[in-house]
Amino acid sequence: MEEWYSAIESAGDVEGLEEIRIAVFGKKGVLAAEFAKMKSAPNEQKSAIAKELNIHKGRLTKQLSERKNILQTLELERAMKAEAIDMTLYSPTSSSGALHPVMETMDRIVEYFSMMNFAVKTGPMIEDDFHNFEALNLPKYHPARDMQDTFYFKDEMLLRTHTSPVQIRTMLSHKPPIRMIAPGAVFRRDYDITHTPMFHQVEGLLVDEEGKVSFANLKYILEDFLKYMFGDVDVRFRPSFFPFTEPSAEVDISCIFCEGEGCRVCSKTGWLEVLGCGIVDENVFDAVGYENVSGYAFGLGVERFAMLIHRIGDLRSLFEGDIRLLEQFR
Residues near ligand DAH (CB under 6 A)? 162, 164, 203, 242, 245, 276-278, 297-299
The residue sitting closest to ligand DAH, measured at its beta carbon, is 299
Residues 270 and 277: their CA atoms lie apart, in Å, by: 21
Residues 290 and 66: their CA atoms lie apart, in Å, by: 76
Residue 128 Cβ vs ligand DAH, minimum distance, rounded to whole Å: 16
Of 63 and 240, the one with the shorter C-beta distance to ligand DAH is 240
Of 187 and 298, the one with the shorter C-beta distance to ligand DAH is 298
> Which phi and psi (to 5°) does residue 278 adopt?
165, -175
270 sits in the region (left: phi over 0; alpha: psi -120 to 50; else beta) called left
For the residues of 134-200, what is the DSSP string, one character each? GGGT--TT-GGGGGG---B-STTEEE-SSSTHHHHHHHHHSPSPEEEEEEEEEE-S--BTTB-SEEE
Of 60 and 249, the one with the shorter C-beta distance to ligand DAH is 249
Of 225 and 242, the one with the shorter C-beta distance to ligand DAH is 242
Q: Report whether the peptide linkage leading into residue 247 is cis, meaning its omega lies within 30 degrees of zero.
A: yes
Residue 95 Cβ vs ligand DAH, minimum distance, rounded to whole Å: 37
Residues 20 and 9: their CA atoms lie apart, in Å, by: 11
Residue 248 Cβ vs ligand DAH, minimum distance, rounded to whole Å: 6
Residue 188 Cβ vs ligand DAH, minimum distance, rounded to whole Å: 9
Residue 297 Cβ vs ligand DAH, minimum distance, rounded to whole Å: 4
Of 105 and 245, the one with the shorter C-beta distance to ligand DAH is 245
Residue 243 Cβ vs ligand DAH, minimum distance, rounded to whole Å: 9
Of 123 and 299, the one with the shorter C-beta distance to ligand DAH is 299
How do strand 245-254 and strand 235-242 relate by DSSP bridges?
Answer: antiparallel
Nearest of 224, 227, 235, 183 to residue 205 by alpha carbon: 183
Residue positions counted in the chain: 330
